[in-house]
Amino acid sequence: MKIGPYSIIGKNVQLGDDCYIGNNVTITGNTTIGKKCKIFHSSSIGEIPQDLKFDGEKTKTIIGDNTTIREFVTINKGTNQLGKTELGSNVLLMASTHIAHDCIVGDNVILSNLATLGGHVEIGDWAVLGGGVLVHQFTKIGEHSLIGGGFRAVQDVPPYILAADYPLKFRGVNLIGLKRRGVSKEDRRLIKKAYKIFFRSGLNRKNALEKIESDLPETNVVQNILKFINQSKRGII
């Protein structure tokens, strides 16, 4: 454990083994940080939300193992709506990113410099947000998806895709990322076929989902796509 000068660690903070805390870091509130995390200078973790409805309720901030938080990152604790803000393990938050109250960020996620999450955002495992990406409150970003730098997400981004443009649009399947992470050739083929039906067939949402369900086998990746889209409340990009 190493804690740099002028850093402040609150009395209710729990730090895992072998963490590195740089200088001028503030960690406060009911915050739990896993093992082997690195938090660089001038970051703020566990402060009260920037939510005018917040009334001092006791909520948490949870950060998994082996997560890296670079300079000037801010992570706000949850409100009584969810009770926590939570990051998984092996997450990389580059400089000046912001995680608002009640966000849930999965494992192995990367947020590039200046990426900003509104409240109640959910990000699936292995997702990547480019520099300066803005994510509207209550939006969901699917696993293994990638959003290009400088764009904004105001609707849900389904898993396994590339997204870019104004407004944000489907720009193909994240084939390189999926291949790097060991997703099989057959699963990649099924993902491409599912999204060709959903985005390119001209069918409405209901009919496209029915065609995916009837035409494609019930593999995990196909079921993940169907589940994500069916559960979307903000609509799909």
Which amino acids are annotated catalytic? 101-102, 119
DSSP 8-state symbol, 181: T
At CB < 8 A and 24+ separation, what contacts does 146-150 make?
146/174, 146/177, 149/112
* CA-derived radius of gyration, the chain: 19
Q: Which residue has the tokens 């799909």?
A: 236
CA distance 40 to 214: 50
CA distance 139 to 123: 9
3-state class (DSSP) for residue 170: strand
Contact 16, 65 (CB under 8 A): yes
Q: Contact at 8 Å (CB) between 187 and 193?
A: no
- Count the helices and strands in the chain (H runs, E runs): 4, 25
